[in-house]
Chain A
């Protein structure tokens, strides 16, 4: 009897070891084309394909986890997942809390979308997703900021007339603007942020190295550019 119990513990231990190789990727699931939940209820989008490919190259088993944007950094730090891959721009403020891999997109200009092209940005109400580079940009520029929990809601605020314009990553807006003829891009664009990278805990240097190498190899053989073109994320490397 005692022996039996011992074997099960050993089994459990090895199972634990096997699981240790599972890397959990945290994303928002509400930021197309970067990441979104498709009709089948699965995480889909540019970052889904990218993340799967990166894990394959780094020979890691990966699992996808969704977490709301607001608490995505605290939950990484507290260990609910191991990496953030959620269209997160690399900024100095975030670097104080977490580490980033090298960027896997070029800095994408942030664009304004409004119902009419002649919005006066100096005293307009501008919507942005909370805790984004765009939100801090608007707040610091002194315009009237209104924040929403998701990018969807920020854009919906413009459609509903709640806000005069929304500021967000251009790639995330293109599709909505083409499918809704009320919406137009403003000419003015803002260059903020330094490209998008994966966020990792500061203590996970090894994992960061693995992903860094995988991103580099995708950059080198052109697969990353192919993905960027496929999902219309912006300029290629």
Chain B
């Protein structure tokens, strides 16, 4: 990275460290921090969308839809979430391949499960066996995102469902009194009003989502935990220019600090948003602000 890094064996102290921390291998650790941010940026809106669908269907007047919505919310409750992560990532992959298999290879006569193997025809493979490496990586990452979105969607659905019920009934009745239809009242009154009730739950969820990102490691993505373990393990001079003893403790301390900073920053930002949203609302916080202004 730096010009003086050409012969690491002559370096000492800080200059050694600066070279060590900027090897291409370390860059992969830093990229994976970016992966975490990318995962959050994609998962949060997706999970919110899933959650909105779940909450809306749980409120639906059409019974089967309501049951689906309620089951979706309830099922994640009693079971450890990481079991869901481990489950979905295999199950989704097999589901997609099975669906493609049914469509693309209708005249396949062998069973899909042969002993301990899961066999689909070559055309149904996801990604296709001859696809380039980046497709495989993108596919793996998308599976992870989808898994996160499903699990966190259920949590978000729970929060939004509660928030929809917390919107004062009088507001809805007023809407009807003005002649709005159910649909209009839903979109124009309930949805805009529910956010302030949902925000404490959603910000809690955001913090939980941040803290769930290291679980990417369990989904087979080469993430920060993978690189921290790989880089921290003791290295001998034969295979690297930067030999060192077992430093895994320090790498994980680094990750710990990274997450502490990240959650603290989020807390501050979310507090700001909450203040803004509470303004003029018929809630305790809104009332307090009104009094403070008056």
Contact = CB atoms under 8 A, between A and B. Distances in A.
Interface in B101-154: 117-118, 125, 129-133, 136
Interface range for A: 35 or more
Contact of B233 (A44, A77, A156): A156
Nearest to A21: B130
B81 interface: no
Contact of B240 (A20, A39, A160): A39
Interface string A139-181: 0000000000010110010011000000000000001100100
A22 B230 CA distance: 28
A220 interface: no
Contacts of B28: 41
B118 A30 contact: no
Interface string B9-43: 00000000000000111011000000000000000
Contacts, number: 78
Contact of B241 (A16, A39, A153): A39
Given A41-B25, A77-B117, A33 B239 contact: yes
A217 B44 CA distance: 54
Contact of A32 (B93, B125, B222, B239): B239
A71 B220 contact: yes
B133 A19 contact: no
B24 A39 contact: yes
A154 to B, nearest CB: 11
A153 B241 CA distance: 21
Contact of A38 (B93, B125, B239): B239
Interface string A36-80: 111111101100000000000000000101111001000001111
Contacts of A150: 229, 233
B234 interface: yes
Contact of B25 (A30, A38, A160, A175): A38
A40 to B, nearest CB: 4
B238 interface: yes
A208 interface: no
Interface range for B: 20 to 34
Interface in B209-226: 220, 222, 226
Contact of A68 (B25, B117, B220, B238): B220
A175 B117 contact: no
A71 B237 CA distance: 29
B242 interface: yes
Contacts of B240: 38-39
A153 B233 contact: yes
Nearest to A24: B133
B243 interface: yes
Contact of B234 (A33, A45, A156): A156
B27, B129, B222: residue with the most chain A Cβ atoms closer than 10 Å: B129
A19 B131 contact: yes
B130 A175 contact: no
Interface of A: 16, 19-20, 22, 24, 29-30, 32-33, 36-42, 44-45, 63, 65-68, 71, 77-80, 82, 97, 150, 152-153, 156, 159-160, 175-176, 179
19 contacts: A19-B130, A29-B230, A32-B236, A32-B239, A38-B25, A39-B23, A41-B25, A45-B239, A65-B136, A66-B222, A68-B226, A78-B125, A97-B117, A153-B229, A156-B234, A156-B246, A175-B238, A176-B236, A179-B236
Given A22-B132, A82-B129, A159-B246, 12 more contacts: A38-B239, A39-B24, A41-B23, A44-B239, A67-B220, A68-B220, A150-B233, A153-B229, A156-B233, A156-B234, A156-B246, A179-B237
Interface of B: 23-25, 27-28, 93, 117-118, 125, 129-133, 136, 220, 222, 226, 229-230, 233-234, 236-243, 246
Lowest 6 CB-CB distances: which A-B pairs, in order? Answer: A41-B24, A152-B233, A179-B236, A41-B25, A20-B130, A40-B24
